[in-house]
Amino acid sequence: MDKNQAKQRIEELKALLWENSRRYYVDNAPTMSDYDYDQLMKELEALEEAYPEFRTPDSPTQKVGSDLSGRDGFAQYPHRYPMLSLGNTYNITEIEEFAQRAVKTLDTDFTYCCELKFDGTAICLTYRDGHLLRALTRGDGVVGDDVTRNVLHIAGIPRRLTGSGWPEEFEIRGEILMPYASFDRLNEDRIRNEEPPFANPRNAASGSLKLLNSEEVGRRGLICTLYHIPSQSASFETHDAALKAAQSWGLPVSEHRRICHDIHEIEDYIRYWDEQRHFLPFATDGIVIKINEMAYQRKLGYTAKFPRWAVAYKFKAEEAVTRLLSIDYQVGRTGAVTPVANLEPVQLSGTVVKRATLNNADQMAQLDIRVGDYVHVEKGGEIIPKITAVDLGRRPADARIPDFPTRCPDCGAPLVKAEAEAKWFCPNADGCPTQIKGRLVHFLSRKAMNVIAGDATIEQLYTRDLVRTPADFYDLNNWQLVQLDGWKDRAATRFMESLAASREVPFERVLFALGIRFVGETTAKEIARHFGDIDRIAAASMEDLLAVPDVGEVIAGSLYEWFRDERHLEEIRRLKAAGLQFSTTREEASSDALAGKVIVISGNFSISRDDMKALIEHHGGKNSSSVSGKTSFLLAGEKPGPEKIRKAGELGIPVLSETQFRALLPGAAPEEDENLFSATLWG
C-alpha cells in the first residue's frame, strides 16, 4: 500500500467507523458487529501508526463514541472526570501481554480485580450528601446527557444512600441493562403494535434510557449494575474496597467479581464465565480485568481513549447450527445489494434468530453456500447474526446453488461492481425506490434536518406519490397529511411545524442531509465552512475540493460527480426556493484568528462547552479532546480537569483562561492581544 492508498483507506475507515458509532450510540440500530467494528478500528490504528501524518484529532482512534442525542428535554453537563472507553481484545495472548506490562512497570506485588463486562449503556451517577444529584450518559466522554429523571424510575438505584461513611460528593459509574425477560416482553409489544423490534437488549436499554416519558422508562424493566468509583472522586486503597463500600451504601454492585493474583487465575475466571454467562438473566459480552490497587492505577495512567490499568477480553460470539431456507437480496440507501439468509428459527444469545447477513457475493462463493444447507450462525458482539460456515457433511442432495442477481431486485437496473469493492451496487440512485426512500429518511433524520418522521411515514408518502425528493416535503400541506393512515390533525400540524423549523437548520447540516456518498457529518461541516455556500461547492474543481482539510480523492470524487448531475442541481434550486440555508452566515465564518491552532478545552465557561467549541471553529481553530504535542494551547475554564492541566505542564503547552482566549479574537485591544501572544503563546 503506497502513501496515497493509505490516505484513501484511512478516510474510508474513519467515515465507516464514525457512521457505525453513530448508529450504535445514538440511533441504537447498529449495522455492524462489535467484532467487525473492532477489527476495522485495529486496521485504522495500524495505518495511523504507519502514516502518523494522516492521524487527525477527530479520528475514531483518538475519541470515544458519543451517545449525545441533542434532543429537546435532555440538558447536557460536563463529566467531572472523563468517561473513557476500554481497550479490548478477543485474544488471550493480548491479556497475557497486558499482565506482563503491568508486572514490568509496577515492579511490585499487586492484584487484579476481574469483573463481567455488561452489555448495556453506560451511566454516571453523582451523589451529594447521600442524595442522587445527577445521572449522565457517557455522551462524548467529556459531556453527557442528563437523564436523572429517567434513572429515578429504574429499580435498584437509590435516591438516598443508606449506611454511613460515604463521601460528601462522589461519582459512581456502571451500566443500565435490560434483562432478557424484559427485552422479550418489550419486543412482543412492539411487534403487536407494528413497531420495529429492537435488535438486542443493549439497544433496547439505550433507547429506553433516552425516552422523554419517564413513566414509560419505569415500565421497561431496566436494571443497573455499578462497577467503578473514579479514584479522584473517593479515597480507597483498592478498587474492590470501593465497590464493597458502595454496596454497603445500598448501591447495586455486581457480586460476580473476583480478585486474581496472576494470569493463570485470570484465565480460569475467563474460562468459567465463557460457559456460565449463558445462564445469566442479562447480556454480558466479556470480562474486564483491572489493576486492583488505586495507587497503581494512578501510576499507570491513561491514553487519549483508554486507561492503561484496565483491559476488556471479549468472548467469541455464540454459535448455533440451523437450516438455510432461502436468500433475499436487499438494496441499501447507497445502492449496495446485501444477501440476507432466511433461517429456520434458532435460539442464540438470548434471542430467536430467523435471518442472518451473508455480506456479499464473494463471501457466498467462499462459503460455497447452498439453499437447504445446514449453516453455522453466530451473533458477532451479540448484535448482527451472520453465517460463518457450512456443515458440508449434512448437505442435502437437493441443496440449490443460489443465483446472485445481475439486476437490482427493486428497480431492475443492471448491477455494477467497482474493482476495489466487494459489494454489487445498483447505479440507478435517483430511480431506485429503496435508495430514494433511504435518502428521504436520512434527509429528515435528527443529525440532518431533524424533522419528526420515521420509515412508516416515508413509506406512505412515497407510496401515495407525494414525495420523491427532499424538496417535495416542502410542497406538502395538512390536507394531504391527514389522508395518511393513522394521521390526525395534531400529527399533521406537528410534522408541518417541524418542517418549517428545518428551514433554520445551518448549511453544514443541510449539506449532510443531501446524502452525498462518503460525506458524513464532520466532513460536511469542513466543506461548508471552507466554501461558504453551495454554489461555490458546485463550481469547485477536483483540486479545489482536495484543498479542504481531511477531504481526499474518494470524497472529492463523490462530491464532484454529484454536482455534475443536473437533477441534483435542480433539487438544490427547489430547496433554495423552499427557504433552506445554503450558505454560512457572517457569524459562522467570523475570522481566521485561530487558523492553524489545535485547542483543547477543559472546565466550565460563561457559555456552554458546545458553544465554546463552535466559537473556536468559527474563528478558524480546531477542537481536540486530548492534550498532545500538536496542541496549541489548553483553554481552561472553572474546575478544569487536573489530568489535562498536568499533561499540558509536562509538554510545555500554554494554558489560557477564558478572558485570555477572548483577547485573541477580533475586537480585543491591540496591545492586550499582542502582549498575550508574546507572553502566553510563545513563552
* Residue environment code for 584-606, b if the CB has 16+ CB neighbours within 10 A, otherwise e: beeebbbeebbeebbbbbbbebe
- The grid coordinates of residue 153 equal 424510575
* Alpha carbons 78 and 513: distance in angstroms, whole number: 29
Dihedral class, residue 675 (left if φ above 0, else alpha if ψ from -120 to 50, else beta): alpha
Cα–Cα distances (Å) from 31 to 16, 34, 119, in that order, read 11, 10, 17
* Alpha carbons 461 and 458: distance in angstroms, whole number: 5
Cα–Cα distances (Å) from 324 to 123, 181, 346, 402, in that order, read 40, 28, 11, 11
Q: Which parts of 309-446 fold into alpha helices (H)? A: 361-367, 433-444
Beta strands 112-118 and 258-260, pairing class = antiparallel
Contact 558, 545 (CB under 8 A): no
* Alpha carbons 223 and 154: distance in angstroms, whole number: 6
Q: Of 2, 4, 3, nearest to 552 (Cα)?
A: 4
> Got the DSSP string for 31-58?
SS-HHHHHHHHHHHHHHHHH-GGG--TT
Secondary structure E strands in 611-681: 622-624, 633-636, 655-656
> What one-letter code names the amino acid at 208?
S
CA 118, 29, 357 angle in degrees (round to 5)?
Answer: 95
For the four alpha carbons of 347, 349, 350 and 356, in that order, the dihedral sign comes to negative
Cα–Cα distances (Å) from 592 to 139, 403, 550, 614, in that order, read 30, 57, 18, 14
- The grid coordinates of residue 384 equal 448482527
* Alpha carbons 238 and 66: distance in angstroms, whole number: 30
Catalytic residue among 7, 14, 63, 117: 117
Q: Which parts of 578-625 fold into alpha helices (H)? A: 609-618
* Alpha carbons 50 and 10: distance in angstroms, whole number: 11
**Mutual orientation of helices 455-463 and 433-444 as an angle, nearest 10°?**
130
Residue 647 annotated as catalytic: no
Q: Rounded to the nearest 5°, which phi and psi values hold at 180?
A: -55, -40
What letter does residue 392 receive in the DSSP assignment?
G
Q: Of 13, 92, 86, 87, nearest to 48 (Cα)?
A: 13
| Burial of residue 670, with CB atoms counted within 10 A of its CB: 0-12 exposed, 13-18 middle, 19 or more buried | exposed
Q: Give catalytic residue positions.
A: 117
